[in-house]
Amino acid sequence: MKIMTSNIQHALDYQNQIIDTDLFVNAIRLYGADICNLNEVRGKGPIDGYTNQTDAIADGLGFFRHFGEAVKVEGTSPYGNAIVSRLPFKSCETVAIPEVADKSEDEYHEPRCVIKAIIEINGTDICLMNCHMGLSDDERNEAVKKICELIDATDLPIILTGDFNTAPDDTVLKPIYDRLSDSDENAINKGMYTYASYLPEIKIDYIFYRNLECLYSEVITEIYSDHFPIIAEFRTV
């Protein structure tokens, strides 16, 4: 089973600066991903450029899909995360991350969410989670707390992915590292930065896992959006 994670920056083809969902369809197909967890995805709304990008990508692949709305931009147009999957979902839900009460920290704040889905592989249920964490320390702390609650609430094997907006050595991620393994340990380009694709200088995108065997992982160093995607292959144990 191959899992890809990609912050698609609302399906913006970074090199040509146009919105192009087919670019991401072709990337997912090229690398043979069975499941792709997406961040910065637009839904259909009245703001120009807000179309149902989850359906466009999933339909292009013939995949199942779930869009997790984190926020309505200007109160009208959905924006959030998505999962597109060759395999059907046994269940899927969007879990809100609590917003910070004190937004005085000098960072941009916005509502965030985690998608939690259950799929079956070779008779084994697997819990998938996809999250795009905030820019502020407080927001990331809230995200990690919520993710750890979800991790601790299940005994299933887990794959957690997303843009966490911080580096691996940030102490905010320690509770996740205490619970899960980072697929980067099995990467053919271990330690490769994921952001920015046009000038890589930091790793902020991740695929974590538990109770699965990671056969390999790779940061895909092709410029699609402003982030490099990551792909990893797993098998049940």
pLDDT in tens, 90-131: 999 999 999 987 766 667 789 999 999 999 999 999 999 999
Is the pTM here over 0.85, yes or no? yes
pLDDT in tens, 183-200: 999 999 999 999 999 999
* pLDDT for residue 18: 97
Nearest to 37 by CA among 149, 150, 127: 127
Query: What pLDDT does 105 receive?
Result: 64
pLDDT-derived band at 148 (thresholds 50, 70, 90) equals very high
- Per-residue confidence (pLDDT) for residue 108, from 0 to 100: 78
pLDDT at 155: 98
CB-based burial label for 204 (10 Å; 0-12, 13-18, 19+): buried
39-86: per-residue pLDDT in tens?
999 999 999 999 999 999 999 999 999 999 999 999 999 999 999 999
**What residue ranges define each of the domains in the chain, with the CATH number in brackets?**
2-236 (3.60.10.10)
Q: Considering the chain, what is the average pLDDT of its residues?
A: 96
Given this model, what pLDDT does residue 199 score? 97
Q: What is the pLDDT of residue 106?
A: 67
C-alpha–C-alpha distance, residues 176 and 172, integer Å = 9
| pLDDT attached to residue 100 | 87
